[in-house]
């Protein structure tokens, strides 16, 4: 079954009087008071508050955070309240999803009323691999990544492939917004570790991209 990720088709129109468009979605949830960490260019300290009812999904969300911690200069820790969390992951209400093909939605960090929320659709069944890829994808949106036209990229809008891959455009966008953990050849060589291909890969950079 094909799954839609990121829900780009449901953008909310910009408010004419504001400098930033409105949040792409909102809900009756407590705002993560440390969500501003996701906007930092330097080292980030990310608090993750996982509130989904599916324990297997929660485990894959944590693994997705490990993926990003290997790419960006960031550290994450478990949090259990809105005062200390940067990201809050919840079971989304039916009103957030048009149908059961939509796996998850994340708030975009460059929108007003950004509170660090990701909602998973409890009625959209996910395999362990799908849950992992979807979590990486949705966290990627919070880090400033857009949908990719490259089906090899984990930011592709429909059923990203495993292992998760970041292409050159993804890396360029990340570099513009955040501090990458590794440079040049080291980042290009980022690959599966410990015999676990689900850890992900980064596609080789061109010479013009390395620094």
Tell me, yes or no, whether 209 lies in a domain: no
Tell me, yes or no, whether 189 lies in a domain: yes
| Total domains in the fold of the chain | 1
Tell me, yes or no, whether 149 lies in a domain: yes
- Residues 107-152: pLDDT tens digits? 887 767 788 999 999 998 899 999 999 999 999 999 999 999 999 8
Q: What is the pLDDT of residue 114?
A: 84
Q: What is the mean pLDDT of residues 150-159?
A: 87
Tell which wins on pLDDT, 95 or 117.
117
Q: Evaluate whether 130 touches 153 at the Cβ level (below 8 Å).
A: no
Q: Across all residues in the chain, what is the average pLDDT?
A: 78
Q: What is the pLDDT of residue 25?
A: 61
Tell me, yes or no, whether 19 lies in a domain: no
Tell which wins on pLDDT, 107 or 9.
107
Q: How far apart are CA 162 and CA 197, in angstroms?
A: 8
**Which structural domain, as residue segments, surrounds residue 159?**
4-8+25-202
Tell me, yes or no, whether 112 lies in a domain: yes
Tell me, yes or no, whether 207 lies in a domain: no
Tell me, yes or no, whether 40 lies in a domain: yes
Query: What CATH number did the domain enclosing 189 receive?
Result: 3.40.390.10
Asked if the model's pLDDT at residue 154 lies above 90, the reply is: yes
Tell me, yes or no, whether 100 lies in a domain: yes
Q: What is the pLDDT of residue 158?
A: 79
Q: What is the mean pLDDT of residues 30-54?
A: 94
CB atoms within 10 A of CB 183: 11
Residues whose CB falls within 8 Å of the CB of residue 24, separated by 6 or more in sequence, listed in order: 7, 10, 11, 12, 105, 107, 108, 111
Instruction: Write out the two tokens for 101.
Output: 């093909």
Tell which wins on pLDDT, 16 or 145.
145
Instruction: Write out the two tokens for 145.
Output: 């990544």
Instruction: Write out the two tokens for 98.
Output: 């048009």
């Amino acid at each position: 079954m094909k799954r839609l990720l990121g829900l780009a088709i449901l953008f909310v129109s910009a408010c004419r009087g504001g400098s930033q468009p409105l949040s792409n979605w909102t809900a009756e949830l407590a705002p993560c008071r440390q969500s501003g960490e996701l906007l930092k260019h330097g080292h980030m300290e990310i608090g993750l508050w996982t509130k989904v009812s599916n324990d297997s999904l929660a485990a894959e969300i944590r693994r997705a955070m490990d993926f990003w911690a290997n790419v960006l200069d960031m550290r994450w820790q478990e949090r259990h309240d809105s005062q200390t969390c940067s990201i809050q992951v919840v079971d989304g209400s039916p009103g957030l999803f048009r149908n059961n093909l939509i796996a998850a939605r994340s708030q975009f960090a460059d929108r007003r009323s950004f509170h660090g929320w990701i909602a998973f659709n409890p009625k959209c069944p996910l395999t362990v691999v799908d849950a992992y890829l979807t979590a990486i994808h949705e966290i990627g949106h919070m880090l400033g990544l857009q949908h990719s036209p490259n089906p090899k990229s984990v930011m592709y809008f429909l059923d990203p492939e495993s292992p998760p891959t970041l292409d050159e455009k993804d890396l360029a966008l990340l570099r513009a917004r955040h501090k990458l953990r590794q440079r040049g050849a080291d980042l290009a060589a980022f690959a599966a570790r410990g015999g676990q291909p689900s850890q992900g890969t980064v596609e080789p950079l061109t010479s013009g991209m390395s620094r």
